[in-house]
Amino acid sequence: MKLIYETSRVTGKCQMCKKYEVTYRKIIQAVERVQRWENEGINPVSTDKERQSIMIWQNELKEIEYMRAAKMKNI
What is the rounded average pLDDT of the residues 34-54? 89
What is the rounded average pLDDT of the residues 34-55? 89
- pLDDT above 90 for 53: yes
Identify whether 7 is part of a domain: no
Identify whether 1 is part of a domain: no
Which pLDDT value is given to residue 71? 83
Which pLDDT value is given to residue 3? 65
- The dihedral over CA atoms of 22, 28, 33, 36, expressed in degrees to the nearest 10, equals -160
Which pLDDT value is given to residue 74? 77
Q: What is this structure's pTM?
A: 0.75
CB-based contact 69:17 (threshold 8 Å): no
Q: Which residue has the higher pLDDT, 45 or 63?
A: 63
Identify whether 5 is part of a domain: no
What is the tally of structural domains in the chain?
1
